[in-house]
């Protein structure tokens, strides 16, 4: 047997940034499709708007910085940011919401910090927060799943709604959001939160419309689809298992303790894991290679922190979902986590060098 | 460069209280929601700066070195009280809009900083001029940041000008665009931080550009051509 001797790095299946980004984009497809199925065409148009604005912004700023923008555009990182942002937005948010978000993500959060690889925060999530803080009404106007809506909408309606605020027949967004009985519907997380704050118990909250068998209609399947995409990424070794596993585990453990302590007030583990953006967050957002921790031990801590924050903010915070806040808050802790979880260099002792007291 | 020119350059640009020294950030970030609020606080701060610098310079040889800081603070507090009462009397609505940040001018590090670093060591005329220039430099940033946030947040300019200048100033009010959805990020504190960061970045970029322009004309050395024939 002949063994070749080579210097490190020994990993030979090396992907370029562009390949990795494209792979992640493809992996979101099941979830993307599920979202289109349950909430209509809006998300696709949001993605097109976000992608256009993101690519133009990236090119313009790189041109200002006198860098080669064709190379930077072909690495698809701006495209992935736009995709993640579009997946988080309400499908029929007006076009300028998406445009401002995509601009903010690329210009402020990414390029002002030095471009790809230098951003402290996850661009899509920081932009989502900026939008949520700026336009709370527009950003929480989610549609009911299509099967429950009084009137569905097609691709043309979606275009009209996004660009003018009304459908071709003149229905406003709020009319499209109406259910068959004339009520607008919140997302499952929102609905449970509102009911709990009004003194209902968790079990009572689940008897409302958006739920079947204790899980939100549509959201359950969307989360499962993102889970499939995430498992595909793990299989392809595009991401490591540490962050998603520790994040989901932390969420499950905390939610279980809370639920067992008082099942009237605190939702169940399954509800937390399969509503809102949990799976999208765990596999696609928290695993962003730039803003996440870079050591294995650090990744475990990073994921667990995100999971803990998600439950804390969902339970006691002012906003219904918490993926974005949790991820950005934990991004801030990444330099510290990385500092304390530096792996031991081969040949050096494990003990951390302490400052000598004189 | 004469002393006055040097002071102007320092106060307005090179050593700007807000952009370079990063002093007095609390009122700077808190009240610049609109241009007029920024202008109002800028004027108040400038008045206090001139007054305190002049007074500190006048008494600089009488004040014992060990207790100079408490005395400076008391002088500044006296001027802040004067300004606060004046604003309460003549621009009541602006006084209400600025709220706690007028009394808080006392704690503005830019003012005590100038008193300690410059006024307590220099004659009255220079100290007063330094206060004026520092104040204008600080106000300029307040106005710029206020205008930026007002345009982005509300789509207007000079909203509330009548609070400061009287009723005729309503005519100044400009509406750039109307929207149901205000861009809250610009109005809320994060917008102030991002806006100030952008202003500092622009200033640094300008400085660097100027530096490059100045250092650019290098001597092009013409090499004497040496050939075998010569």
Q: B100-118 pLDDT, tens per residue?
A: 888 888 888 889 988 999 9
On whether any CB of chain B is under 8 Å from the CB of A48, the answer is no
Does some domain include residue A290?
Answer: yes
Region A243-266: what's the mean pLDDT? Answer: 92
Indicate the burial class of B38 (C-beta count within 10 angstroms; 0-12, 13-18, 19 or more): buried
- B188 contact residues in A (CB cutoff 8 A): 133
pLDDT given at position A171? 74
Helices (H) and strands (E) in chain B, counts: 10, 2
pLDDT given at position B166? 77
* pLDDT at position B229 over 70: no
On whether any CB of chain B is under 8 Å from the CB of A112, the answer is yes
- B185 contact residues in A (CB cutoff 8 A): 130, 133-134
Question: What average pLDDT does chain A have?
Answer: 84
Does some domain include residue A58?
Answer: no
**The total number of residues written for chain B in this structure:** 230
**C-beta atoms of B185 and A133 within 8 A:** yes
In this prediction, residue A47 has a pLDDT band, given cuts at 50, 70 and 90, of: very high
With a threshold of 0.95, tell me whether the complex ipTM lies above it: no
Residues 124 through 143 of chain A touching chain B, CB cutoff 8 Å: 130, 133-138
pLDDT in tens, A98-146: 999 999 999 999 998 888 888 999 999 999 999 998 888 888 888 777 7
* pLDDT at position A30 over 90: yes
| Minimum distance, in Å, between the CA of residue A130 and any CA atom of chain B | 6
Residue labelled with tokens 């602006």 = B94
* pLDDT at position A9 over 70: no
Does some domain include residue A101?
Answer: no
Size of the A and B interface in Cβ pairs below 8 Å? 21
* pLDDT at position A182 over 60: no
In this prediction, residue B16 has a pLDDT band, given cuts at 50, 70 and 90, of: confident
Closest CA to A287 of A237, A341, A321, A337: A237
Does some domain include residue A113?
Answer: no
| Inter-CA distances, A341 with A46, A67, A72, Å | 39, 34, 31
Percentage above 90 pLDDT, chain B? 40
Closest CA to B50 of B122, B113, B111: B111
Angle at A7 between CA A6 and CA A13, to 5 degrees: 80
Residue B11 has, within 13 A of its CA and on its CB side, a CA count of 29
- Closest residue in B to A65 (Cα–Cα): B205
Terminal C-alpha separation, chain A: 57
Closest CA to B26 of B116, B130, B98, B88: B98
Least confident of A30-44, B11-25, B43-57, B163-177: B163-177
Does some domain include residue A296?
Answer: yes
pLDDT given at position A141? 80
Does some domain include residue A13?
Answer: no
- B183 contact residues in A (CB cutoff 8 A): 100, 134-135
* DSSP secondary structure of B104-135: GGGG-HHHHHHHHHTGGGS-HHHHHHHHHHHH
* pLDDT at position A7 over 80: no
**C-beta atoms of B188 and A137 within 8 A:** no
| Minimum distance, in Å, between the CA of residue B40 and any CA atom of chain A | 26
- A133 contact residues in B (CB cutoff 8 A): 184-185, 188, 190
- A165 contact residues in B (CB cutoff 8 A): none
Q: How far, in Å, CA of A286 to CA of A327, rounded?
A: 6
Q: Are A57 and A103 in contact (CB under 8 A)?
A: yes
On whether any CB of chain A is under 8 Å from the CB of B199, the answer is no
SS (H, E, C) A106-162: HHHHHHHHCCCCCCCCCHHHHHHHHHHHHCHHHHCCCCCCCCCECCCCCHHHHHHHH
pLDDT in tens, A279-300: 999 999 999 988 999 889 999 9
Angle between helices A123-134 and A323-340 (to 10 degrees): 140
- Closest residue in B to A137 (Cα–Cα): B181
Does some domain include residue A78?
Answer: no
Does some domain include residue A161?
Answer: no
Phi-psi category of B226—alpha, beta or left, where left has phi over 0 and alpha has psi -120 to 50? Answer: beta
Domain span including residue A235: 185-340
In this prediction, residue A357 has a pLDDT band, given cuts at 50, 70 and 90, of: low
The structural domain count of chain A equals 1
């Amino acid at each position: 047997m002949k063994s070749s001797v080579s210097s490190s790095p020994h990993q030979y299946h090396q992907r370029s940034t562009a390949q990795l980004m494209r792979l992640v984009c493809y992996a979101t497809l099941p979830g993307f499709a599920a979202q289109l199925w349950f909430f209509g065409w809006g998300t696709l148009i949001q993605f097109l708007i976000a992608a256009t604005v993101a690519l133009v912004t990236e090119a313009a700023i790189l041109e200002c910085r006198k860098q080669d923008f064709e190379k930077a555009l072909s690495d698809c990182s701006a495209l992935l940011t736009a995709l993640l942002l579009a997946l988080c937005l309400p499908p029929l948010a007006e076009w300028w919401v998406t445009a401002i978000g995509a601009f903010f993500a690329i210009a402020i959060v990414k390029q002002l910090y030095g471009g790809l690889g230098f951003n402290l925060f996850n661009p899509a999530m920081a932009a989502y927060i900026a939008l949520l803080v700026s336009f709370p009404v527009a950003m929480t106007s989610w549609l009911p799943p299509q099967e429950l809506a009084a009137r569905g909408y097609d691709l043309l309606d979606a275009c009209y709604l996004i660009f003018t605020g009304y459908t071709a027949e003149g229905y406003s967004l709020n009319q499209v959001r109406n259910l068959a009985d004339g009520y607008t519907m919140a997302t499952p997380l929102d609905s449970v939160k509102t009911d709990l704050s009004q003194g209902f118990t968790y079990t009572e909250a689940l008897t409302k419309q958006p739920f079947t068998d204790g899980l939100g209609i549509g959201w359950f399947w969307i989360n499962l689809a993102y889970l499939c995409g995430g498992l595909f990424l793990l299989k392809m070794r595009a991401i490591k298992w540490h962050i998603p596993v520790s994040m989901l585990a932390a969420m499950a453990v905390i939610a279980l303790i809370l639920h067992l302590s008082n099942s009237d007030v605190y939702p169940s583990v399954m509800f937390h894991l399969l509503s809102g953006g949990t799976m999208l967050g765990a596999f696609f957002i928290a695993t962003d290679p730039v803003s996440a921790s870079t050591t294995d031990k650090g990744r475990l801590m990073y994921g667990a922190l995100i999971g803990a924050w998600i439950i804390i903010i969902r339970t006691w915070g002012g906003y219904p979902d918490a993926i974005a806040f949790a991820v950005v808050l934990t991004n801030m802790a990444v330099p510290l986590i990385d500092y304390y979880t530096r792996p031991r260099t081969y040949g050096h002792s494990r003990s951390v060098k302490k400052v000598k007291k004189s | 460069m004469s002393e006055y020119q040097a002071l102007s350059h320092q106060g307005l640009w090179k050593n700007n209280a807000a952009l370079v020294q990063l002093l007095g950030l609390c009122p700077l970030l808190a009240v610049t929601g609109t241009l007029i609020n920024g202008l109002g606080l800028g004027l108040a701060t400038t008045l206090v700066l001139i007054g305190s610098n002049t007074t500190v310079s006048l008494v600089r040889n009488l004040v014992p070195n060990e207790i100079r800081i408490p005395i400076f603070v008391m002088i500044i507090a006296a001027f802040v009280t004067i300004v606060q009462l004046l604003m309460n009397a003549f621009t009541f609505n602006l006084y209400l809009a600025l709220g706690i940040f007028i009394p808080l001018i006392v704690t503005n590090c830019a003012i005590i900083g100038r008193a300690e670093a410059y006024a307590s060591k220099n004659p009255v005329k220079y100290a007063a001029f330094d206060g004026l220039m520092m104040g204008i430099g600080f106000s300029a940033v307040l106005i710029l940041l206020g205008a930026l946030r007002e345009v982005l947040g509300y789509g207007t300019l000079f909203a509330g000008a009548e609070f400061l200048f009287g009723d005729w100033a309503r005519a100044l009010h400009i509406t750039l665009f109307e929207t149901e959805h205000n861009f809250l990020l610009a109005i809320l504190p994060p917008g102030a931080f991002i806006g100030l960061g952008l202003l500092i970045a622009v200033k640094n970029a300008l400085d660097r550009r100027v530096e490059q322009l100045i250092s650019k004309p290098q001597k092009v050395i013409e090499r004497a051509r040496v050939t075998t024939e010569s």
